[in-house]
Amino acid sequence: MSDPLSMLSIASGGDSYRVGWANGWRIPDQLTVAQWADQHRKLTKETSKEEGPWRTDRTPPLREIMESLSPYCETPEITYVKATQLGGTEAGNNWIGTIIDHYRGSILVIQPTSEMSKRWSRQRFDVMVEHTPALQARIAPPRSREAANTIMLKRYPGGFLVIGHAESAASLASMSCPYVFADEVDSYPLDVGNEGSPLRLALKRAGSFGRRRKILKVSSPKKLMGESIIWREYLRSDQRRFFVPCPSCDHTQTLEMAQVLPEGAYLCQHCGTAIPHRKKTEMLEAGRWVAKYPERTPTHRGYQQNSLYASVGLGPTWQELYREQQEAGDDPVEVKTFVTTRLAVPYESMEGKIEPSELQTCVEDWHLREIPRGVLMITAAVDVQQNRFHVQILGWSRGPQCWILDRAELPGSPLEPEDWQSVDEYLDRPLVNAFGVEMPIALKAVDSGNWADQCYAFVREHQGKGYIAVKGHNAPGKPVIGRPTMVDVTLTGRTLKGGLALYLLGTDTAKDTLLERLAMTPSKPPEARWFHLPQDLPDDWYGQVSAERRDPESGRWVKVRAAARNEDTDTIVYGYAAACHPRVGLLKMREADWRRLEDRYEKATGDLFAAAAASERAEREAPPPRKREKRSSIFAPEGWGL
């Protein structure tokens, strides 16, 4: 009987070694990010306007950007300055999918905040994996028994994906990765944990990988010119723009808003042909990126793309963009939104141009504590100083437009409870509008930046009368009024139900809006102004609202002179923040809401202020009258309770 082992065919050790060595060093097929996406990506209705297979041909400008992210392109840094709805984040997601499935290596993804990081993980990455079989085979679901995968950390063969955020230096410095995807860069803080720029901290994570590293930075330029992080990165790059040919003369050109006609056609810069919007698809297909500084290409490619390049059906039409621009007018807030989200360039602010003498020429024919017609909402603010309380009362009308209704300095010490009571008494004085209707103060914001305990005690006692505690937060990009922090807690640290809430205010954000609008007041007719000023404001009010300038280095508002007073600026900010509070909802007001307020406060009883003014004019112009009995009026000083 023959030996069974003699029937087996055994490969030689040398052959096995050679096959194993060859397989271990096999170079993967060359596959660009765009090719991988076309083969594997599926878009869902939750994350995309068009559901179905990804087609790079639908967004031609993205092809080169994604090819630049492929390892076969030796440029290590890619910057993409984009308008909204152009697919920048999805291009980054395609890159991540290609790395996990094909290139291998670890990835660091950075979002602006912790909440945005979690949202990206759940709503972008997990959805991409769920609808991409090639990734399902490599990434275990976060709820599976594979403990290595969590919301913020995904492990796969050949590497891991770390999801960090720009508010935490620790999440940016935990480990080294050859691939870094920095998303929404312009929403990053300028400094994190006193350790410097979060973007710089993140880029150091890839520094040790040399030419193997690949870094993608994507954002709309949300910060102002001189402060925009993504724009600064773009200026360091080779500065590419997308050139498209005219269908009539074949002249290549970039698409600029100045060439868009009211009917929605595009005026060729060379032959003057009005190009219809439907021709844009063929223009994009024939377009190409051109670098302004090609000598920088080996180290840094930069792409800038505005909304005029949005693919047909995936973004606004040329006519819609024209209408948006017209509707923005010269409102600095609306113009800034259009410039940054549609034109993809930073907004150049008019800060530093408030002149007190020019503002003083803008006073109107009414006085402090009068409430002119159209003012339908009132807020108040208190700035606390060592020996006084600075009070300002603001009215709000459609627009929204701001009316300086009252301004006073109440002597007193924040350490004395009875002096705080004088503030409440002052704000309790009745405010009667032009129709004889007494109007309430919707919300009263009290500064707690200094003497916090005394402020908390006062606000805690008077919460039922509409007082809130606020504190300014000098950091660019913060919301005008953020979510409240509960101050009152139990001995065990639990939040007390119904306790005191502290609201942090984005003072720089508010000043960007308010001071820019104030600076434009002299250039506008009274009916179009955002700020309305009474005749009897004191001179130092004008000096205080012009006491600050924006520092382009830090993005913060600073005093022109260290000793300059700015309480009037601060109380305008606090009063605006109170108006933006959800309980008041100034920025969410619809026309129906304004009409309801009109029905409540401006009943058809005639404009009493106008009637009184007409009576005074008639008396001045009439011949010397006979003696008449003096009549009382709500416009007499005693009528205002002064």
- 372 and 501: one domain? yes
Instruction: For residue 71, give both structure tokens.
Output: 């390892």
The pLDDT assigned to 601 comes to: 95
> Would you say 306 and 255 are in contact if contact means Cβ atoms under 8 Å apart?
yes
Counting the structural domains of the chain, the total is: 3
Report, as an integer, the average pLDDT of 406-431. 95
- 479 and 562: one domain? yes
Which of 21-30, 220-229, 609-618: highest mean pLDDT?
Answer: 220-229
- 97 and 191: one domain? yes
Domain assignment present for residue 132? The answer is yes
Domain assignment present for residue 335? The answer is no
Domain assignment present for residue 143? The answer is yes
Report, as an integer, the average pLDDT of 247-267. 94
Identify the CATH number of the domain in which residue 483 sits.
Answer: 3.30.420
- Quick check: 282 pLDDT over 90? yes
- 636 and 523: one domain? no
- Of 146-150, 289-293, 430-434, 508-512, the least confident: 146-150
- Of 304-308, 371-375, 606-610, the least confident: 606-610
Report, as an integer, the average pLDDT of 470-491. 82
- 115 and 178: one domain? yes
CA distances from 258 to 30, 268, 322, 350, 601 (A): 42, 11, 9, 21, 44
Give the type of residue at 122.
R
Task: Find the helix or strand (DSSP H, E) in which 403 lies.
Answer: strand 401-411
pLDDT band at 50 (very low <50, low <70, confident <90, very high): confident
- Quick check: 155 pLDDT over 80? yes
- 501 and 367: one domain? yes
Please give the residue range of the domain that contains residue 501.
Answer: 362-601
For residues 474 and 529, the model is more confident at 529
SS3 state at 35:
helix
- 488 and 416: one domain? yes
The pLDDT assigned to 5 comes to: 37
CB count within 10 Å of CB 82 equals 26
Domain assignment present for residue 331? The answer is no
For residues 8 and 64, the model is more confident at 64
Task: Find the helix or strand (DSSP H, E) in which 383 lies.
Answer: strand 377-384
- 376 and 455: one domain? yes
- Quick check: 631 pLDDT over 70? no
The pLDDT assigned to 164 comes to: 86
The pLDDT assigned to 579 comes to: 96
Domain assignment present for residue 588? The answer is yes
Domain assignment present for residue 4? The answer is no
Domain assignment present for residue 276? The answer is no
pLDDT tens column, 69-80: 988 888 999 999
pLDDT tens column, 166-176: 887 776 766 78
**Pairing state between β 467-473 and 501-506:** parallel
- Quick check: 268 pLDDT over 70? yes
- 301 and 400: one domain? no
pLDDT tens column, 498-519: 789 999 999 988 998 898 889 8
- 296 and 372: one domain? no
pLDDT tens column, 546-577: 888 776 555 677 777 766 789 999 999 999 99
Report, as an integer, the average pLDDT of 40-68. 88
- 103 and 153: one domain? yes
> Would you say 308 and 85 are in contact if contact means Cβ atoms under 8 Å apart?
no
Report, as an integer, the average pLDDT of 6-25. 52
- Quick check: 615 pLDDT over 80? no
Alpha helices in 105-237 (DSSP H): 114-119, 126-130, 133-136, 169-172, 198-207, 229-236
- Quick check: 142 pLDDT over 90? no
SS3 state at 617:
helix
CA-CA-CA-CA torsion sign (384, 387, 393, 394): negative
User: How many Å apart are CA 262 and CA 421, to the nearest integer?
Assistant: 59
For residues 466 and 149, the model is more confident at 466
Instruction: For residue 107, give both structure tokens.
Output: 């990835």
Identify the CATH number of the domain in which residue 56 sits.
Answer: 3.40.50.300
Q: CB-based contacts of 183: which residues, under 8 Å, 6+ apart?
A: 89, 92, 109, 110, 111, 120, 218, 219
- 168 and 46: one domain? yes
User: How many Å apart are CA 29 and CA 139, to the nearest integer?
Assistant: 22
Q: CB-based contacts of 260: which residues, under 8 Å, 6+ apart?
A: 266, 267, 308, 318, 319, 321, 322
